[in-house]
Each structure stands twice: as C-alpha cells, then as structure tokens.
Amino acid sequence: MDLFAGGAVGTLFTVLYEVVKDVKDKTMMFKSLLGDLKSTLDSLKPLIEDIEKYNNLMDRPKEELENFKEKMKNGAVLVPKCSTVSRWNTYKKYKYAKKLLDLDQCLNRLLTILNAGGVRDGKETLYRVMNIEEKIDKLQIKEEVVLPKKLDIKAWCAVPELPPVTVGLDEPLRDLKKKLLKDDVSMLVLTAHGGSGKTTLATKFCHDKEVKDKFNNNIFFVIVSKKPNLDFVEEVYQSMNSEDARQNPLLLILDDVWLGSISLLQKFDGLKGPNGKILVTSRSEFPGFGTSYFLESLNDKDSMTLFHHSASLGNRSSSIPEDLLRKIVERCNGFPLAITVTGNSLRGQATEFWRKRLRDWSKSSILDIETELLLRLQSSIDALDEKDAIIKECFMDLGSFPEDQRIPAAAVIDMWAELYELDEDFLSITNLLELTTRSLANLVITRKENMEMVDDYYVEHFVTQHDMLRELAVYNAKLDPIEQRKRLIVDISGDNEPKWLTEQKSQPIKARLLSISSDGVFSTKWQSIQLPEVEVLVLNIQTKNYALPQFVEKIDKMKVLIVTNYGSLPAELSNFELLGSLSNLKRIRLERISIPSITKNPIQFRSLKKISLFMCNIGQALSNCSVKISDAFPNLEEMNIDYCHDLVELPTEACDLIHLKKLSITNCHNLYALPERIGKLANLQVLRLRSCTDLVKLPGSMKNLKKLVFLDISDCFSIRELPEDIGEISNLRNINMRQCSRLQELPLSVFDLEQLEEVICDEETGSLWEPFLNCLRSTRIMVAKENINLNWLQ
C-alpha cells in the first residue's frame, strides 16, 4: 500500500500544519506544547514535500502507516479545541495534553523513520508537556495551626524564625518600614507571585529591631491560606479585640490572603485602632484595603548569592564554569524559590548534569515564572533514577494530605511501612530526609535536644511541603488512566464529585492508596466503586460529625487507616463497626477524633498491630467501652497516645494487652497514674511517658517487666521517686530521665541494672547517678541541653 499516493498524507499534513500555526498563538495554556509540535512539523515539512526520496517508508507495516494518517487526521480536529479549554477544567487539560503529547510522539517517530536527524527522547517530551499545566498560584508553605486548650493565642501567632540566608530584602524592608510605620497608614498589602519571598520579607519585618521596639510583644503573625480555619481566626480576632491588646501599639501580619478572604480583611480592619498596623501578604491586590507594595524579583547579584548558597558553592571556586553558572541563574529570572530548588537539585552534580539541565530548559517556552518553576520541579522528579524509584513514590504519596497542613511523620510511617515494607520506622524517616535533601519536602522537628539520640519515636516530626510540590505530586498521580493509577487522590464536598466517578463503567481501580478529603457526604455512586487493591485509606475531614463511607467494608486488602480531622474540635466518628470485617487491617491512626464515639458498638480487630491516638478526646472510653479492650485488640503490639489532654488515668484493662511491645503516652499533661497491674505486660519492650507532667509515680509492679529495654520519663517533673525494685528490670538498657526535676535520689537497686547502657538526663539528674557509676561501668551518662525553638508553635 502506498500511503502517500494521491497526496493523502501530504494533504493531512498541510491541514495539521496550518491549524497548529493558527492556534499556537491563540492559547496561552497550550502555547508551549503547540510550539514544540510546530517545531516537529517544521522539521517534517521539507521531507513530506519531497517524500519520493524515502521509499524505505513503503516497507513499514500497514498498521503503522495507517496510524500516522489517523493521528494527523485526529490532530487537525484536536488542536482547535485546545483554544476553547478553560484553565479551570482540569479534566480536559489533562485529556488534551495527553493527546497532544501522543501526536507529537507519533510525528517524532515518523521523523525518525525518515532519518531526519532523530527524535527527541521520551523524557524530554514528558518534560515539555509540563508547560501546559495551569498556573500554580499556591507557592508558599503554609501551615494551618490548630488551637489546643490552655494555650495563649499569642504563642500560636508567634513570628516564624527567619531562614538561614535572606538576600535582596534590605531595600524592600526599608520601604516597608517607611510606608507602614507612617502615622497615616494603618494597612499595607504586600503582593507578588507565589514563592517570591513575601512571607520571608514579612518575617524579616517582624524581626527588625525598630519594629520590635515599637510593638514590643504585641505582634501577631496569622497564616490565612486559601482555606482558612475560621474557628482559629475567630480566636485570634477575639484575643486581639480585647481591651488590653488594643491599648498598646499592635502589629498584625495576615499572611497568604486569597481573594476569597476579603471578609477577613474587613473583620480585622475594623479593630486595628489608632495604634494598630496590619501587613497583608497576598498574590492579589485588595483595592480599598490600604497601600499596595509589589515585591520585585531579585537582581543578578542577589540571585547569584542565593544560588551559591542553595548549590553549596559558597565563595570558593568550583569546577562549574562561571558562564554556565550565570546562564542557569538567568533562567531562574530572579525568582527565589526557583533559584533555591534549582541550586539544591544541582548540588554536587557533575558539570555535564548542569549542561543538560540548561539544554532541557532551552527547549521550553516560558509562559510565566510559575509554570517555569513547575518545569524545574518536574525535572527534579524525572532525575530520580531506578534506584530512587521508592523516593519518587514517597514524594507522590505526600499528595494524599491537604495543602497548607503539616503532615505528621507518624502517619507517613504507617503508610510506607505497609506500602513499601519498611519494617523499621527510621527507614521512612530516611526517605523523608532524602526528600528534604532534594527540596521536595521539609522535615521539621518541633522539639529536640542538642544531641543525637536514637529514640525511634517521631511524634514530634512533621513534614511540610510547598503547595506547588503538592500540585506536582497530584499532577503526576493523574497521568495514568483512572483504572491504572497507583494512588487515587480525591477532594470532594457535597455534590462536588470527580467526573470519573460518574463515568466509571464498574471497572476495578488498581490503586493501592486511596485519599479522600471530604465533608463526610458520599453519594450512592460510591457504593459501586471497586477498590480491590487498596491497602492504605487516608481520610481528611473537617467536620464535627463524620460517618465512614459504606464502601469501606469492601476494601478487603486494607492494612492502614488514617483519619485526620482538621477542625478545631474532636469529631464524632460513626460507622466504625464497618472495619470489623477487614481481616488485614494492621494499623489505625486517629487525629482529633472523639474516641467515645467509636466505642459504642462492640467491635473486634483481630489483625490490628498498632493504634495511634493524637489529640483525641478519650475520656473514659477505654474503660467504659462495650467490649473489653483486650478483646477488641487481642493481638495489639503497639499503642501510642499523644497530646490527649483529657486522659487522666490509663485504665486497668489495658494491662490485659498481653502482646503489647510498645506503649507510648506523651504530652498527656493530666495523666496522674498508671495502673498497678502494668507489670502484667510481660512482653513490653518500650515504655514512653514523656511530658506527662502530672504523673506522680511509677507502679512498683514495673519490676516484672523483664523484657523492657527502653524507659522514657523525660519532662515528668512531678515524679519524686523511682520504684524501689527498679533494678529487677534486668534487661533495661536505656533510660531518658531529662528534666525530672523533683527526683531527689535513686533507689539502691539501680546497682543491679547491669545491662544499662545509656542514661539521658540533664545536669541536675545526672548528678544522682554519680555514686553508682563505679559499679555500672558500661553505663554512659549523656547530659542533654534543651534546644529552645518555636517550631512546635507552627
């Protein structure tokens, strides 16, 4: 068959060429991809016109030749449609982008067949398709704080710490001070693209000596974000509206305000008073709300300084040619986040990698700086090779959590333990540190000592991720057809359901991870969904009452359930009994959930190995539930209870969990007693009671914990004495007793702790061990110094 006879391909090619040429400059969204497509067509044009020279094409299989023809025909229809797609229509954007990419790949294959200089490889093509992604406006890492009881609102509105290096902000800082500190100016709106350094400048403003002297301690730093926590904002408003707060000069920072939050500006604008100043950071201007100040991009000198820091080049000479450095920095267009991400990704790489990166960028058309950054970020993901495949998967998993929220490392650990068989918690932390190194996430430790201590408990560890990085993770998760996706990330509320749900033809979805952010309302369409491979279910909620969806009982392979309530009060959780039929469920993590609501109905979790309760309302639920705790969790090996302020006493029934190996109760400040029968936990290896400030003593029966290896009573400063027979815990190797300030002496049985290897303490409690060290020759005393930071306030 002569496909080119009669000009069949020539005619189709001409139609496609003219259509692309006409539409390319009419759509900003697909302009770059269409530009690449036109470049491919430009390379093909002279060859198509002189096709007789390429008779070797006639030897191609008929099906392949027909495919070229069909692709050109469909392309001529597709391209005009690109100019009609709304930037908000995510489904069509992805759909058309894939088709354009497929067309370009097909034409590149034809180009290869015609020996016209080769084809750009698939990686470069995938890199180019990133150009069609919508503007990613959300660029600053924000964290929505949750207000616990008994905490001063000023502490929760504390000014963040400055990053180690800030460049190019001295002049803008002087401008801000000059404008905002005028007597006749009460509000200033600081605007710029996301990631331009608005929050950093606002933070630097608060740390300025002149500003601090003027406002003293009356500075509030409030992160608003796209979906503000209205309960928290109301708490801030009431605190600032007090008579005491308004008598003195007051500075309010409203950070990351979106257009939909004008009502908040109106609310706070009414209380600034004669001594009040308000600084707003936003991507948008707000006419009528004070003076505007636009933060310009960095100049060449400051850009180079920031890049040297990000790439760890310092001031020393490097093997990277200066001209190559300059070109790389120029392509970042003075955009701080782009400079930082680029520098970090090239840190320690050979010159060839730098040259390739610059070459890749030269192939893309810059629509705007944010899309340019998206390309940089995607190239960082694409740079992960096969040995880093799990790191890429871990990065994608972080998209399962809502934007503007801290991600508890403990939740990530539970996910990855089952998805990737990471049987040791520190292995997941290693992956998070790897992501941090690559600037794909940031691991924040809220409280830590000035020393390295291997504790393997990460309740104080949180992951923060730039909103654009989350967008990148979600984008990549959607590249595969719905039935083939490894992870399914769904954001629904009310009738706002994904289109694929209504279009799905009852085909099973192969995702292993399912993440749903919702208000708890699920339509009947969800009942027909087939999820035979889901192992991890992440439910993100923000409501007072939430019912587990009925389809949960059909997820037979589920191993991990993570329910996180981002509201300010514990949520009532119903339908919990649906989980009773899941024979593979190993881990449950609940955050800000009312536990009494899930213990009303008898339920048994025979396979459950670990349960974690974080900031939950427990009350008497563990002792008054409808089934004995040992019957509900007959094979439980680990129980973690953290920041549950209404826990007063651990119920005696917990001592019947005979398989328990790890028991951690931390930051439960009202806990005053442990059950006397705790010695029945014969398999217990780790006991953490960190920061249980009202705990007065430890039960004497602890002497029966013969397998106990690690004991943590740090910051339990109400404990006055240790059990008299503590020396009978013959296998004890590590004790953390830092800040046990009321402990006056140690029992003589300490001499019998022959296996004790390490005691972590402060200087005061360390002195109690001195009389015993001559006999405990293998015991190391490690004095920890407190590292004071405000990370825990975020």
pLDDT for 565-611, tens place per residue?
A: 998 888 888 888 899 889 999 999 999 999 887 777 778 899 999 99
- Looking at residue 736, its pLDDT comes to 93
Instruction: Please tell me the least confidently modeled range out of 41-45, 339-343, 540-544, 788-792.
Output: 788-792
Average pLDDT over residues 233-252: 75
Token pair for 716: 């339990």
* Beta-bridge mates of residue 613: 590, 641
> 582: Cβ–Cβ under 8 A, 6 or more apart, which residues?
552, 553, 555, 556, 558, 607
Measure the N-to-C terminal CA separation of the chain; round to a whole number of Å: 69
Nearest to 520 by CA among 557, 575, 474: 575
Average pLDDT over residues 508-514: 92
Long-range contacts of 749-756 (CB under 8 A, 24+ apart): 749/724, 749/725, 750/722, 750/726, 750/776, 751/727, 751/775, 751/776, 752/727, 752/728, 753/726, 753/727, 753/729, 753/779, 754/730, 755/730, 755/731, 756/732
User: Alpha helix locations (H) across 114-258?
Assistant: 122-129, 153-156, 170-180, 198-207, 209-215, 230-240, 243-247
Measured CA to CA, the distance from residue 468 to residue 283 in angstroms comes to: 14
- Determine the Cα angle at 638 with ends 633 and 644, to 5°: 90
* 297-349 pLDDT tens trace: 889 999 999 999 888 886 555 678 888 999 888 877 777 877 887 887 788 88
Average pLDDT over residues 192-204: 84
pLDDT band, residue 76 (cuts 50/70/90): confident
pLDDT band, residue 427 (cuts 50/70/90): very high
Pairing of strands 587-591, 250-257: unpaired
Q: How many residues does the chain have?
A: 794
The residue with greater pLDDT, 7 or 691, is 691
Helix H, strand E, coil C: the string for 20-64 is: HHHHHHHCCCCHHHHHHHHHHHHHHHHHHHCHHHCHHHHHCCHHH
* 687-743 pLDDT tens trace: 999 999 999 999 999 999 999 999 999 999 999 999 999 999 999 999 999 989 899
What is the b/e burial string over 24-63, where b = at least 16 CB atoms within 10 angstroms of the residue's CB? beebebbbbbbbbbbebbebbeebbeebeeeeebeeeeee
Pairing of strands 587-591, 560-565: parallel
Token pair for 300: 């060449």
pLDDT at 131 over 60: no
Is residue 230 within 8 Å of 263, Cβ to Cβ? no
What stretch of H or E contains 15?
Answer: helix 8-23
- Looking at residue 94, its pLDDT comes to 55
Per-position DSSP letters for 264-281, written without gaps between them:
HHHHHHTT-TTTEEEEEE
- Determine the Cα angle at 499 with ends 498 and 500, to 5°: 95
Please state whether 466 falls in left (phi above 0), alpha (psi between -120 and 50) or beta: beta
Average pLDDT over residues 342-369: 69
How are the residues of the chain apportioned to helix, strand and coil, as percentages rounded to the nearest 5? Answer: 45, 15, 40
> 263: Cβ–Cβ under 8 A, 6 or more apart, which residues?
none
- Looking at residue 628, its pLDDT comes to 84
pLDDT band, residue 356 (cuts 50/70/90): confident
Average pLDDT over residues 429-440: 82
> 472: Cβ–Cβ under 8 A, 6 or more apart, which residues?
374, 377, 378, 381
Nearest to 384 by CA among 120, 123, 102, 105: 123
Phi and psi at residue 734, in whole multiples of 5°? Answer: -135, 135
- Looking at residue 599, its pLDDT comes to 72
pLDDT band, residue 130 (cuts 50/70/90): very low
Is residue 182 within 8 Å of 261, Cβ to Cβ? no
Average pLDDT over residues 548-576: 91
- Determine the Cα angle at 486 with ends 485 and 492, to 5°: 70
pLDDT at 393 over 80: yes
Measured CA to CA, the distance from residue 475 to residue 642 in angstroms comes to: 34
What stretch of H or E contains 81?
Answer: helix 62-82
Average pLDDT over residues 252-256: 88
Per-position DSSP letters for 92-107, written without gaps between them:
HHHHHHHHHHHHHHHH
Helix H, strand E, coil C: the string for 452-507 is: CCCCCCCCCEEEECCHHHHHHHHHHHCCCCHHHCCEEEEECECCECCHHHHHCCCC
Average pLDDT over residues 404-421: 94
pLDDT band, residue 51 (cuts 50/70/90): low
Measured CA to CA, the distance from residue 402 to residue 638 in angstroms comes to: 27
Is residue 472 within 8 Å of 489, Cβ to Cβ? no
- Looking at residue 755, its pLDDT comes to 93
Give percent above pLDDT 70 in the chain: 75
pLDDT band, residue 72 (cuts 50/70/90): confident
